[in-house]
Amino acid sequence: MDSKFAFAFLLFYFLMSSHSVISQTSGKVNIGESLVAMDQNLSWLSPSKDFAFGFRQLNDNDDFFLLAIWYYKIPDGDIVWYAKGGNPAQRGSKVELTADRGLVLKDPQGTEIWQSDFGTGRVAYGVMNDTGNFVLVNINSESPALWESFSHPTDTLLPTQAMKIEGILSSRKSATNFSQGRFQFRLLRDGNAVLNAINLPSNYTYDAYYISGTFDPENSSNSGVQVVLGESGNLYVLRRNDERFYLTPQDIAPVKDYYHKATLNFDGVFTISQHPKNSSSNETWRVIKTIPENICFLIFGKEGSGVCGFNNVCKLKNDQRPTCECPPSYSLLDPDDKYGSCKPDFIQGCEEDGQSPQEDLYTLKDMPNTDWPTSDYEIFKPYSPADCRESCLQDCLCAVAVSRGDGCWKKRLPLSNGREDRAVTSLAFLKVRKANATLHNPRLPPNAEKNQDNLIVVVSVFLGGSVIVIFLLSGLLCLGSFLYHKKHTENHQQERSMGMNLRCLTYEELEDATNGFNEELGRGSFGVVYKGVIGTGSTVPVAVAVKKLDRLVEDGNEEFETEVKVIGQTHHKNLVRLQGYCNEGRNRLLVYEFLSNGSLASLLFGDLKPSWQQRTQIAMGIGKGLLYLHEECSTQIIHCDIKPQNILLDGSYNARISDFGLAKILMLNQTHTKTNIRGTKGYVAPEWFRSMPITVKVDVYSFGVMLLEIISCRRSVDIEIGENDREILTYWAYDCFLGGKIDALVEDDPEALSDMKRLERYVMIALWCIQEDPSLRPTMKKVMLMLEGIVQVTVPPCPCPFNSTIS
């Protein structure tokens, strides 16, 4: 009996085991089947066993598991999908397939913590497909799929998987932490696929650091509608007209021999990779394409830290992936997050340092090929490396100075978008506190000890004299203190009312700062500009440009300060920053940052022609600044006088728009009619001379004229040229375009001639901008899209159809 019982038991076990294998490898999961998170996990396999669905134990904690899909045949197979936002489930949690709610995940206490939400319908069964897609099949065959993992991607796309408009891939927080990270890959409603960082935990979206360029407002059929990882492993944006815009090379290893995936990694790099199916245990994924190619070199916008955290430095590894490293004498805020922010291992600051010589407290550490390009607060040029070092060492605000060429860029904490690379042609001087440097008592101001001794002497005298004298002196001291603090508070309230750190300066202060308005920098429509030097509380005074506004009346103080406040709150990397103002009767002055490389006019019309690359970058910068003024700042600003003289260049020759907002200030308390012409001859839009409303399109017109000047390095009106058909640049440019001779605009510029597609595009954009009819001119947003090549530029009509000089 024992042997028969044993044989029957073995037969039953074999049959059950065989049934279990079949149920696991057929891919089908029946209603009521479940999996439990435990050490020896069963999983639901696809028919080929390429993919598995189930619980994966997290490496850093044996008591937590991730409900996921992964490559089953690859050792430690990469996870390609996960539930519950990447948040792990406790040991003993169970996922069950139900008819009315699909997959339901419960913790060990039976509390539901996740489900596959699909609305109405009933599940017939589930399927783990060989594509890596887990599907809940509808009992109603008319709508076969109630829910599928492909429609809820996490950080990875698999072959045949498509991401629709407004679809999102979110990176993990780290390689082993599957909760939401800082980066996203999205398909926008306009058809562009973009990569961008976000601010955790608010999910505020920063500027995109990659744009596919698949948006076409002129032809909606050309806009992207899906991002697809094709069966062959090619990643592309599918347009509405079924055209494919490939993001990867098309010669990829065949899918029958290789696994393929596209993953948004925790470090912000989007990688398309392949792995041989029949491989040894030591084979890894081979990256076919990284987007972007060098993430360390990208600027992630004016907010945020960049790829790495604040004060951290990004370096590109051989696999095109970034790593982050804190600077010397800095350490990670979170020791477990090497990609996070760094903090200085010392105390630094003007208050802490007191009046001690900075060289007694600090030393500078050289960091070759390193820069934090978005943390500047002061630029000096020309300036030698030795001068740059000394300037930072003597400035209690300076955390690091960067020397490049003949310029010096001083930076303060926190530092953002840090990078180290051979292509970074700069030397950074990092200021760190000496090991033996001691701090002053931070609770006492400089000379506090001496002041305390004096106070003791004074109190002793008081105590030795008459009580009445003590009261009188005490009363006088209190009254003086009250009056001082009242005046001090009023001044600060006035400055705070202006907002954004604007300083309210007296005319006498500015007269001293400019040495009696001695050094004139230039004259324009709005007044005369003088160079000055103003102390900022640091040991190094700051150079400024002081503009004395003319044609102002004494009335309108409130309106003037309101408009100055608007200017002071308008900040963009392509705008000149306002730092202070003076409003005393007829004396109204504005104090701007001083930009060392002068105006665009001096660069364009000087003896040495700037390079084509430099000119195109300047045009882009001006366009971005105007777009900000027209559409992105809190109060729309029409400049009314866009011209090369009002475009200044910083130490890196970045374009910065000046005099924005002044057109409105100059019209305060004046009769404002449509005929009050603002602007400069050659750049003024036709509507100024007609009974037409003045809109942002007047700036678009001026930009178009200036774009032609940037292209040709010639003035808009040049009667000295001696050729009637070339005196007016706008007319001549259209003639050249019409005759197919746009190369004449750049003459013998080999760099521009080798970039004919861009040259032709820029000329057509300029001609669209200078159309007589304002409604035909594009907005600055569209201008930027055309300049970037995202929007196709069509052939423009004659900009002056009623002018007989143009044929």
Q: Which residues pair with 80 in a beta bridge?
A: none
Summarize pLDDT for 305-322 with one digit per residue, the tens.
999 999 999 999 988 899
The Cα–Cα gap between 610 and 603 comes to: 7
In a domain, 89, yes or no: yes
Mean pLDDT for the stretch of residues 64-80: 91
Task: Report which of residues 220 and 667 the model is more confident about.
Answer: 220
The CATH number given to whatever domain includes residue 59 is 2.90.10.10
- Cα–Cα distances (Å) from 267 to 195, 214, 261, in that order, read 12, 25, 17
The Cα–Cα gap between 692 and 757 comes to: 36
Sequence-distant (≥ 6) Cβ neighbours of residue 768 within 8 angstroms = 704, 776, 777, 778, 786, 793, 796
The Cα–Cα gap between 403 and 369 comes to: 10
The Cα–Cα gap between 763 and 767 comes to: 6
Summarize pLDDT for 640-675 with one digit per residue, the tens.
889 999 999 988 889 999 888 877 765 543 333 334
Cα-flanking dihedrals φ and ψ of residue 275, to 5°?
-145, 130
The helix, strand and coil proportions of the chain, stated in percent and rounded to the nearest 5, come to: 30, 25, 45
The per-residue pLDDT for 40 is 73
Residues contributing to the annotated binding site for ATP:
548
For CA atoms 307, 309, 313, 315, give the dihedral sign.
Answer: negative
Answer with the one of 102, 118, 151 that is the final residue of a domain.
151
Task: Give the start-end residues of each E strand in 129-220.
Answer: 134-138, 145-148, 156-157, 162-164, 168-172, 180-187, 193-199, 204-211
Summarize pLDDT for 38-56 with one digit per residue, the tens.
877 789 999 999 999 999 9
Q: Is residue 71's pLDDT more than 50?
A: yes
The per-residue pLDDT for 672 is 37
Q: Hunting for tokens 């200085």 — which residue is that? A: 344
Q: For 76-90, 430-444, 689-703, which range has the lowest pLDDT when averaged over its residues?
A: 430-444
The per-residue pLDDT for 9 is 39
For CA atoms 628, 630, 632, 635, give the dihedral sign.
Answer: positive
- Greatest Cα pair distance, the chain, in angstroms, is 121
Q: Is residue 763's pLDDT more than 80?
A: yes
The Cα–Cα gap between 323 and 340 comes to: 11
Cβ atoms of 188 and 194 within 8 Å: the answer is yes
Upstream peptide bond of 292 is cis (omega within 30 degrees of 0)? yes
In a domain, 158, yes or no: no
The CATH number given to whatever domain includes residue 525 is 3.30.200.20
Cβ atoms of 215 and 790 within 8 Å: the answer is yes
The total number of structural domains in the chain stands at 5
In a domain, 487, yes or no: yes
Residue 622 and residue 474 in one domain: no
Summarize pLDDT for 278-297 with one digit per residue, the tens.
866 678 899 999 999 999 98
Look at residue 17 and give its three-state secondary structure: helix
The listed range with the strongest mean pLDDT (60-69, 214-223, 420-429, 520-529) is: 420-429
Sequence-distant (≥ 6) Cβ neighbours of residue 575 within 8 angstroms = 625, 628, 629, 656, 657, 658, 660
The per-residue pLDDT for 59 is 72
Residues of the domain holding 349: 313-433
Residue 675 and residue 691 in one domain: yes
Task: Report which of residues 33 and 563 the model is more confident about.
Answer: 33
The per-residue pLDDT for 650 is 86
In a domain, 197, yes or no: no
In a domain, 796, yes or no: no
Residue 640 and residue 723 in one domain: yes
Mean pLDDT for the stretch of residues 183-192: 94
Answer yes or no: pTM beyond 0.85: no
The per-residue pLDDT for 587 is 87
Question: Considering the chain, what is the average pLDDT of its residues?
Answer: 82
The per-residue pLDDT for 618 is 95
The per-residue pLDDT for 669 is 38
Active site residues: 641
Residue 612 and residue 748 in one domain: yes
Query: 415 falls in which pLDDT band (50, 70, 90)?
Result: very high
The listed range with the strongest mean pLDDT (29-33, 358-362, 591-595) is: 29-33
In a domain, 141, yes or no: yes
Percent of the chain at pLDDT exceeding 90: 50
Summarize pLDDT for 100-115 with one digit per residue, the tens.
999 999 999 999 999 9
The per-residue pLDDT for 437 is 61
The per-residue pLDDT for 550 is 75
The Cα–Cα gap between 642 and 313 comes to: 38
In a domain, 321, yes or no: yes
In a domain, 3, yes or no: no
Residue 513 and residue 615 in one domain: no
